A and B are shown apart, each in its own frame.
Chain A
């Protein structure tokens, strides 16, 4: 299960809405091993595309070094799908390389209600998990 504070949940959805129709992406960092997302970092989608995302590699380098210095890890890695459901694509699965991370997908295809779902992706196997939003 992903337990996520309301303000971080809202920031992810707001980022996805802002970048629509391009895909938005980013990280929630938290203390290593805690499974607790604490810090929201929006990343630049280097592809600026409605069907693909890739973290800007220079930004990713700096963030990964900062997390390492702070004993943090990417607890959540999120991105949006802007015309399809919030389910990992084959491309998402092929790139997934953080077995401890929650992979969050947000679909912005509906203008009113965002679809927000979370998955574990380990060795190519996708397992959906419940999302618990805490105030």
Chain B
């Protein structure tokens, strides 16, 4: 490594003046057939909602292609698909909701296939760096059982990565700390 990376600093409490935008929580075009809502709450170590969190997601489309493949294969052909969502209200209540489509399986290490998943970055005041987690889907038990990443997570903690079907969409709560602490990853 020739240069050191620029260090991370907290997003602070006032990011809403610069980062969120009106349709930022849409990873697909409004009205896309099969669109789903994934919602949840980010909790701190006391079980209190974190009102000043910023959440970002990145994912493939149902055919397993990303909006920008950087030349690693064909990009998504789903009209209006960005695969990226950003949530963070000026006066947040700790909840988030993204609108997206369920991703398809994508390749993993050593010829494996990964179960449908969404990468998530969580930022907040009080967080000096982002925390990265993944949303998997509880209604994909077979694909999840074969997933090369989930299999490295202690079994008793895997449930923290599963979005549960709820109200026609999915629910995925994030616990930064505590007995239900979400699994976070080193990328």
Q: Do A and B bind each other?
A: no
